[in-house]
Structure 1
């Protein structure tokens, strides 16, 4: 039976606003930009440590985000990968200190999805237009960063298969949640890139426009590996139109903070 959150809702936790959901096993959230301590272009809940913000502010923001999710007690286990716009996936199966240290070494080298079947290990990936995807299974979850490179490489589908292997379930047991990103009517790309996507995904028509719908391609990739279309929830939240709630690299001229997708199994 699919691990499906009853709903995904926007909740304020003492100023930290999350678009969140939960199953019997997993809590997950897409953060918004309010409720943190960062200033200027990073205002205010910037969770990215690689964008020029004060590292102490980022650390406090991450603490606040985990506290809002009810996961403050496992902050010491937090995993934040070095995202490189690839399709490498790292699996976490233990919350032992030595095992997590090995994982940290792996993710520092670069990965764009983490599959986790260990309890009390929060996983946080950063975004500012690319597509965040959270996959939930009975007994595990994955957090995926899917920009155009990851999307055309079908990283969400690959993470789904890795999660099925780790959790011992079928793709039909997986629920997928697509978070805030630059939407299909906002994301103009080159004709060459549209042609590449059209060759890979039947849902992309390169003859009508150069507006690229990444979430449609992600949905197609997930369905192709066996995820039930009814178990895919696209929040349709726009980083561009709702730039007051989310960071947008394009809309803010390349200097901005990062919101996050976070998962944890408590």
Structure 2
């Protein structure tokens, strides 16, 4: 798996997960080399080859979502008819691979202690502010109440030293929860801007939604161009994938 990241968390043995980096593929230029996004201007044949390389490490083809920076979770066991429009996916069936594509937004992997449910969330600031974390967990709990004891792993995302946002982003969070204020640090070079911490914002919302065990977080996509694509850093760039599934 090259230098891909395997989450360091105490998930059940039948829960399998990986986060790809930009390395190990066939692409070139700003998409070098393992771009998995088919919507970013890369050559479609190259993306197809890269997805085929990824497929060799998986039990089945990932159920790719048409991500819209929203708050809609999708069960890939039943209501996912391509193209699936949503920003989170979950599954109770072994072999079904949940996936999200990212290049600065935060990928959140989920599983339960019983090893009967897995999920993944594409948590950009818009989706997070609109409740994608809470809606996903609520949907999972509605589907099967025995899946409620959860843990989460936070993958690489743009770090708080580089994620500059406006006051409207800060207000979108602190208007929901005043405690979110700790996730925003002032930008002393530009008083109209703030530096936002996606990892802290996600942890706060996960805890409030009942997820007591949260791992990972802190790896910055912006500051590591040798391993990670970053839209904020490069503009034209590829996408990495966070993937999780239940082994059969």
Q: With structure 2 as the length reference, what TM-score do the two structures score?
A: 0.87
CA contact (8 A) 1:32 1:259 kept: yes
Q: What's 1:213 paired with?
A: 197
Structure 2: distance between partners of 1:49 and 1:235: 26
Residue deviations 1:57-97 (CA, integer Å, cap 9, x gap): 212212222323xx2x523xx2101000000111133xxxx
Look up the match of 2:245.
Answer: 264
Which of 53, 57, 63 aligns to 1:79? It is 63
2:184 and 2:195 in contact (8 A); partners too: no
Q: Distance in 1 between matches of 2:185 and 2:35?
A: 37
* Equivalent residue pairs, number: 234
Contact 1:135 1:160 in 2 (8 A): no
SS in structure 1 opposite 2:6?
strand
Considering only aligned residues, what root-mean-square deviation do their CA atoms show, in Å? Answer: 1.9
Which sits farther off after the overlay, 144-153 or 156-165? 156-165
Change (3 A) 1:41 1:125: same
* In 2: Cα distance, 1:205 partner to 1:236 partner: 16
Whether the aligned pair in 2 keeps the contact of 1:36 and 1:45 (CA below 8 Å) is: yes
In the TM superposition, what is the alpha-carbon distance from 1:45 to its structure 2 partner?
A: 0.5
Give the match for residue 150 of structure 1: 127
Superposed, 1:1-266 pairs within 5 Å as: 13=1, 16-21=2-7, 23-68=12-57, 71=58, 73-75=59-61, 78-93=62-77, 103-105=80-82, 107=84, 110-137=85-112, 138-169=115-146, 171=148, 173-201=149-177, 202-205=179-182, 209=186, 210-228=194-212, 231-252=213-234, 254-266=235-247
Q: Which has the higher contact order (CA 8 A, sep 6+)?
A: 2
Cα offset, 1:156, TM superposition: 1.7
Tell me the SS of whatever aligns to 2:231: coil
List gaps (5 residues or longer) in structure 2. 187-193
- SS in structure 1 opposite 2:64? coil
Task: Select the structure that is richer in helix.
Answer: 1
Any gaps of 5 or more consecutive residues in structure 1?
1-12, 94-98
Deviates more, 1:51-60 or 1:28-37: 51-60
